[in-house]
Amino acid sequence: ADSDADADTDADSDADADADSDADTDTACAYPSGSVEPMTEGEVVTPYSWPEARNMDGIRTAPLDLDDVPCETDPNIDWSPHDVLLFVSIPAW
């Protein structure tokens, strides 16, 4: 690093002395073996429907119809907020 304030007219000239060279160089991408492209350009994404939430006990369920959203007093959903998880996956591009 330049140790003075003279705009690099001296011998040290702020030259990059580390080994990374900071130059823009092309590097080959390395993907894990067996990897695939998740989507192709122009591919149609089919809508996914998940009509009900299921408790891990395998018995209790609650409808996920947005026209009939259950509230905390609904007998179909008696789980605490810590037991209920709604996972929404939205593709990102």
User: What sections of the chain are H helices per DSSP?
Assistant: none
pLDDT at 87: 59
Residues of the chain with pLDDT under 50: none
pLDDT at 69: 58
3-state secondary structure the chain: CCCCCCCCCCCCCCCCCCCCCCCCCCCCCCCCCCCCCCCCCCCCCCCCCCCEEECCCCCCEEECCCCCCCCCCCCCCCCCCCCCCCCCCCCCC
The model carries a pTM of 0.25
pLDDT at 6: 56
pLDDT at 53: 78
User: What residues does each domain of the chain span?
Assistant: 47-93
